[in-house]
């Protein structure tokens, strides 16, 4: 990093209340729920029944694809899928479609400007108000020798300089915050950094950093874990039981298979819309309930990226202070 080494950055990170940032993200849960529900509904509704109800049946080392048809063989396998029993492992294409829709919606939500602004506002508040962060900033600046009679000039107008830090450093001649031995330099620096978070160029840098996190293999693995915890397969099976019209006490093959065949003949056209309506809301509600795991990972990555961007700025402030002190 810039004037702060890895240890100092870790100290600052430890003082940032990640749970408070997660709580901030929680204020947007209605937007997340609506986005997930809408994306799941749209993805299901845009497919036809022949795709949605395609089954993958694995028996031993053999896997085969069963396209939906009003036949006893397919109806028997769909019955086993709904019941979750039998000697074969069966999955439904609808599960895959829903899981991908959820992943796309979550990624879109965390890449949005509104989500980024929520995180920026939360971090700015903590920079301004957390005394321990102020103390660490002051200690680290003392170590660099830059804590001397001089000025931290605070102006955040952006020029056409190459980097964010250069743009800010170029404007240090405007707006003065005096820093002498008796002044709370840590608080002054923290306030400057909090203001820097509002600069468009900083937001662009932060968005790029978040996009990198969201595209990483590690984050995708977390999404997969959350997807499994959502229990998409269970939601799909419950929706099928309701739409097919099978009562809980009648889940036996001899009763259900004829019902499934009737369903495939008479509700083929209306199935996508019906299942989209049932599954989209249930999955969205569950995702919001399980979202803290994702939100915490995003907030942690955001703080790390923010400190890297802000430390670049501090390095330029440090150099300017040394110039003024000499």
Percent of the chain surpassing pLDDT 70: 76
Per the structure, the count of domains in the chain is 1
Q: Look at residue 245 and tell me if it is in a domain.
A: yes
For residue 193, the 8-state DSSP code is: H
The listed range with the strongest mean pLDDT (38-47, 105-114, 171-180, 317-326) is 38-47
Q: Look at residue 266 and tell me if it is in a domain.
A: yes
Residue 152 · residue 177 · CB < 8 Å: yes
Q: Look at residue 137 and tell me if it is in a domain.
A: no
If you search the block for the tokens 């799909």, which residue do you land on?
A: 236
Amino acid 297: pLDDT: 86
pLDDT surpasses 70 at 155: no
Pairing relationship of beta strands 150-153 and 89-92 according to DSSP bridges: unpaired
Q: What's the mean per-residue pLDDT of the chain?
A: 79
Q: Look at residue 62 and tell me if it is in a domain.
A: yes
Residue 287 · residue 40 · CB < 8 Å: no
Amino acid 309: pLDDT: 76
Amino acid 48: pLDDT: 95
For residue 296, the 8-state DSSP code is: H
pLDDT surpasses 90 at 4: no
Q: Look at residue 199 and tell me if it is in a domain.
A: no
Region 283-294: mean pLDDT is 89
Lowest mean pLDDT among 67-81, 105-119, 210-224: 210-224
Burial pattern 19-38, b for ≥16 Cβ within 10 A else e, equals eebbebbeebeeebbebbbe
Domain around 278: 6-130+205-313
Amino acid 67: pLDDT: 96
Residues 6+ apart with CB under 8 A from 242: 278
Amino acid 202: pLDDT: 78
Amino acid 209: pLDDT: 80
Amino acid 86: pLDDT: 53
Length of the chain: 326
**Phi, psi (5° rounding) for residue 85?**
-130, 170
Q: CA angle, corner 186, sides to 180 and 187, nearest 5?
A: 100
pLDDT surpasses 90 at 37: yes
Residue 3 · residue 144 · CB < 8 Å: yes
Amino acid 180: pLDDT: 34
The Cα–Cα gap between 319 and 146 comes to 8
The Cα–Cα gap between 207 and 201 comes to 10
Q: Look at residue 118 and tell me if it is in a domain.
A: yes
Q: Look at residue 152 and tell me if it is in a domain.
A: no
Q: Look at residue 191 and tell me if it is in a domain.
A: no
pTM: 0.78
């Amino acid at each position: 990093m810039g004037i702060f080494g890895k240890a100092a950055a870790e100290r600052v990170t430890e003082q940032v209340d990640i749970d408070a940032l997660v709580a901030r993200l929680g204020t947007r849960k209605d937007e997340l729920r609506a986005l997930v529900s809408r994306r799941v509904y749209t993805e299901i509704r845009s497919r036809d029944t022949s795709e949605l109800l395609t089954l993958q049946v694995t028996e031993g080392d053999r896997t085969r694809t069963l396209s939906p048809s009003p036949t006893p063989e397919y109806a028997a396998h769909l019955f086993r899928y709904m019941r979750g029993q039998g000697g074969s492992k069966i999955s439904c294409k609808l599960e895959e479609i829903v899981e991908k829709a959820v992943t796309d919606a979550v990624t879109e939500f965390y890449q949005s400007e509104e989500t980024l602004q929520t995180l920026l506002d939360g971090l700015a508040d903590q920079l301004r108000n957390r005394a321990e962060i102020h103390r660490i900033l002051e200690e680290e600046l003392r170590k660099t020798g830059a804590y001397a009679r001089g000025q931290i000039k605070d102006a955040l107008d952006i020029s056409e300089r190459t980097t964010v830090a250069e743009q800010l450093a170029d404007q240090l001649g405007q707006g003065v915050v005096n820093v002498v031995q008796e002044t709370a330099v840590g608080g002054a620096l923290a306030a400057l950094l909090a203001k820097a978070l509002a600069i468009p160029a900083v937001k662009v840098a932060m968005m790029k950093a978040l996009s990198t996190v969201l595209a990483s293999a590690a984050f995708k693995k977390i999404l997969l874990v959350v997807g499994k915890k959502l229990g998409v397969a269970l939601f799909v099976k419950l929706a099928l039981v309701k739409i097919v019209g099978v009562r809980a006490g009648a889940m036996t093959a001899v009763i259900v298979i004829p019902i499934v065949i009737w369903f495939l003949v008479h509700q083929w056209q209306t199935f996508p819309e019906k299942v989209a309506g049932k599954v989209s809301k249930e999955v969205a509600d569950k995702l919001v309930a399980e979202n803290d795991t994702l939100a915490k990972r995003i907030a942690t990555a955001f703080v790390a990226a923010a400190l890297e961007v802000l430390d670049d700025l501090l390095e330029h402030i440090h150099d300017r202070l040394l110039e003024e002190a000499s």
